[in-house]
């Protein structure tokens, strides 16, 4: 597994965010029985940068907590069978890893949401990472049924890692 992690936020985190993110990404992949080695790019940034990305890619001129940019198009959430026949299209030619996509997390938003929800910043960064990983694996929360499935998966991952509210 490769996690291309960049930290561009001005505020510094006082915990080992690299280790936390690696554990969450790994647990999400395990939860879904992802059948290949994976590559994910993650950027930790600030409200100003994520607002610009949100404006450019989603047409929303406001900061958000996390953005997900899946590299794969799924017919069904969590169904990776199409990769067996896709050839090399979705795989890094140098590593052979399946490229899942990109995640952008606002450290500013994570800090404010941790305070707002009354839990640790570790929990908030872990939650945002898990949430976005499930987007990269085809899940969404546009309907109540989809939201409940995604919430269940996120909670299961965080509970397995003993990261509680």
- pLDDT (tens digit, 9 = 90+) per residue, 137-164? 999 999 999 999 999 999 999 999 999 9
Please report the pLDDT score of residue 51 as a whole number.
97
In a domain, residue 165? The reply is: no
Q: Is 141 flagged in the annotation as binding?
A: yes
**How do residues 28-70 score in pLDDT, each as one tens digit?**
999 999 999 999 999 999 999 999 999 999 999 999 999 999 9
Instruction: Pick the range with the lowest mean pLDDT from 44-48, 71-75, 125-129.
Output: 71-75
Domain count for the chain, please give it.
Answer: 1
- Whether residue 46 lies inside any domain: the answer is yes
Q: Is residue 25 part of a domain?
A: yes
Average pLDDT of the chain is: 96
Find out whether 119 is annotated in a ligand binding site. no
CATH of the domain at 135: 3.40.390.30
Q: Provide DSSP, the chain.
A: -EEEEEE--SSPPSS-HHHHHHHHHHHHHHHTT--S-EEEEEEEE-HHHHHHHHHHHHS--S--SEEEEESS--SSTT--GGGGGSTTTTB-TTT--EEEEEEEEEHHHHHHHHHHHTS-HHHHHHHHHHHHHHHHTT---SSHHHHHHHHHHHHHHHHHTT---
Q: What is the pLDDT of residue 84?
A: 87
Q: Identify whether 61 is part of a domain.
A: yes
Q: What percentage of residues in the chain have a pLDDT greater than 70?
A: 100
Is 63 a domain residue? yes
Range of the domain at 122: 2-160
Distance CA 64, CA 129 (A): 14
């Amino acid at each position: 597994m490769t996690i291309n992690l960049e930290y561009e936020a001005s505020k510094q985190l006082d915990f080992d965010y690299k280790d936390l993110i690696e554990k969450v990404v790994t647990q999400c992949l395990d939860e879904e029985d992802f059948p290949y080695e994976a590559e994910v790019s993650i950027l930790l940034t600030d409200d100003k940068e994520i607002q610009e990305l949100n404006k450019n890619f989603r047409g929303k001129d406001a900061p958000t907590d996390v953005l997900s940019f899946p590299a794969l198009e799924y017919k069904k959430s969590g169904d990776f069978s199409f990769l067996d026949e896709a050839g090399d299209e979705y795989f890094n030619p140098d590593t052979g890893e399946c490229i899942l996509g990109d995640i952008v997390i606002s450290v500013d938003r994570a800090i404010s949401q941790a305070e707002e929800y009354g839990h640790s910043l570790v929990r908030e960064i872990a939650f945002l990472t898990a949430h976005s990983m499930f987007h990269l694996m085809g899940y969404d929360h546009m309907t109540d049924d989809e939201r409940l499935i995604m919430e269940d998966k996120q909670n299961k991952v965080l509970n397995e890692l003993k990261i509680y509210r």
